[in-house]
Copies of this chain bind each other. A is one copy, B any other.
């Protein structure tokens, strides 16, 4: 059986090593040889392993799409438009597809699964959420018996690395981001990670699957992480908390979906607080099974390649046994309710330049009768509130931001 690989970056190389170079146990599970015969890359001078006589680099997608021997296309291009075009073309050419693209999937989930169903081919995407964590497969399994009504997780390795590093070293956000970029833990343009798009896309995919109706990135209420500073990490630590960047969605009254991507304070003695660096954790809650949590490497060459190749192996076995691709209808009409379904105590830091700003902030926060604790330093004012609804507190902070820009706040998870 022949496979084509689109993209030959880090994960693509990992997949190539597992399949063609016999790293891992992939080939042990096969009774016929399975190889990657073509790799699409824009650089025609890129080379596969010299010992590999089978696989070649191609620059023209048609050489893959029109090759009847190729039954599986593994798409690891990155980006959005071209990858979408390639996945769609592969499905339309009757190829089974494996992808790790959360961007494409979260945007075109219903269209692509629809084409896969029409063409009677498999579309698998285990690596799109949580890297090596087998969350997609596990979620699908639990859904056979359970109604899942809550999903939460630390879903982004870059921001988790930055927060772990800030917590450990007392460093500031910008310095830590730069360090992360230097060692390849953050992209040159870190927007998708630190503004929450990456988490939001993963949460969209999980929520779509779990709740049975389309939830898109744009439906998800998100706040970036870039306002966090060393003093926030320190203050949270003094209060017994660790700052984490959380994606969280829940289904209420059968069709109301609440979502949030935001920094959250977890007790130091909690599982979430102790998930560090490139590790991810994902929690799902079912009506029969209760809470399940899955922990593992959310990024990285081998772990992600493992998930991709696992998908390919699943398809190979299904094709061998003539099994039909499952088709899950995503036709439930869901109402996207923003973050108003979340509430909690909040930690708030506002940097103040003078007494006027101090007075202004205090006047806004005065409206919140529930403020629990205030610390005022030369440079900043720190609040801990009593329980308040997320969107209401967002509104208070928006008012503060009309006058003062250096603000960070995070819900305390209890």
Hey, which bits of chain A sit against chain B, CB under 8 A?
A: 18, 23-26, 29, 132-134, 137-138, 141-147, 268-271, 273-275, 286-297, 300, 302-303, 305-306, 309-310, 313, 321, 323
| Cβ contacts under 8 Å, A286 to chain B | 306
Q: How far is the CA of A313 from the CA of B142 in the complex (A)?
A: 11
Output the nearest chain B residue to A132 by Cβ-Cβ distance.
Answer: B289
Q: Are A310 and B271 interface neighbours, CB within 8 A? A: no
Distance A138 CA – B296 CA, assembled complex (angstroms): 13
Within the complex, which residue of B274, B290, B293 is in contact with A294, where a contact is CB–CB below 8 Å?
B293
Residue of B nearest to A300 (CB): B290
Residues on B with beta carbons closer than 8 Å to the beta carbon of A310 = 141-142, 144-145
- This chain: copies in complex: 2
Q: Which of A24, A138, A145, A271 has the most CB of B within 10 A?
A: A145
Quick check: B134 and A138 within 8 Å, CB to CB?
Answer: yes
Tell whether, in the assembled complex, residue A303 and residue B290 are in contact, meaning their CB atoms are under 8 Å apart.
Answer: yes
Q: Which of A271, A291, A313 has the most CB of B within 10 A?
A: A271
B275 near A145 with CB under 8 A, answer no
- A300: chain B residues within 8 A (beta carbon): 290
A297 to B274 CA separation, bound complex (whole angstroms):
20
- Across the interface, name the chain B residue whose C-beta is closest to A294: B294
Q: Please report the C-alpha to C-alpha distance between residue A147 and residue B271 in the assembled complex, in whole angstroms.
A: 27
B residues in contact with A302, CB < 8 Å: 288-290
Residues of B within 8 A of A143 (CB): 25
Residues of chain B lying within 8 A (CB to CB) of residue A269: 268-269, 273-274
Contact between A289 and B297, CB atoms less than 8 A apart: yes
Q: Is the CB of A144 within 8 A of B289?
A: no
9 A-B pairs closest in CB distance: A293-B295, A292-B296, A289-B306, A288-B306, A24-B145, A24-B288, A290-B297, A132-B289, A271-B274
Cα–Cα distance between A157 and B305 once the two chains are bound (Å): 35
Q: Are B25 and A146 in contact, CB atoms less than 8 angstroms apart?
A: yes
Residues of B within 8 A of A24 (CB): 145-146, 287-288
Q: Are A303 and B274 in contact (CB under 8 A)?
A: no
| Chain B residues positioned under 8 Å from A303 (CB to CB) | 288-290
Choose from B145, B273, B274 the contact partner of A25 (Cβ within 8 Å).
Answer: B145
Contact A134 B141 (CB under 8 A): yes
CB atoms of B290 and A132 under 8 A apart? yes
Q: Which of B18, B142, B291 contacts A134 (CB 8 A)?
A: B142
* Bound Cα distance from A323 to B324, whole angstroms: 12
* A–B complex contacts, Cβ < 8 Å, 5 sampled: A24-B287, A25-B143, A269-B274, A288-B302, A290-B296
- A273 cross-chain contacts in B, Cβ below 8 A: 269
Set of chain B residues within 8 Å of A270, measured between Cβ atoms: 274
Given A144-B29, A146-B24, A269-B268; A292-B133 close (CB under 8 Å):
yes
Interface pair B296/A296, CB less than 8 Å apart: no
9 additional A-B pairs beyond A25-B147, A294-B295, beta carbons within 8 Å, are: A24-B287, A25-B143, A132-B290, A134-B138, A142-B310, A145-B310, A145-B313, A289-B302, A290-B300
CA distance A26 to B293 in the complex (A): 22
A275 surroundings in chain B (CB, below 8 A): 271
Q: Which residues of B contact A313 (CB under 8 A)?
A: 144-145
Contacts of A293 in B (CB 8 A): 293-296
A281 → chain B closest CB, angstroms: 8
Indicate the member of A29, A273, A296 with the most B CB atoms within 10 Å: A296
Cross-interface CB contact of A306 among B23, B146, B296, B323, cutoff 8 Å? B146
B288 touches A23 (CB 8 A): yes
Other-chain residue from B23, B25, B294 in contact with A292 (beta carbon distance below 8 A): B294
The docked-state distance in angstroms from the alpha carbon of A177 to that of B147 is 35
Whether A26 pairs with B145 at a CB distance below 8 angstroms is yes
Q: How far is the CA of A334 from the CA of B321 in the complex (A)?
A: 33
- Chain B residues in 8 Å Cβ range of A132: 289-290, 292
Residues of B within 8 A of A323 (CB): 321, 323
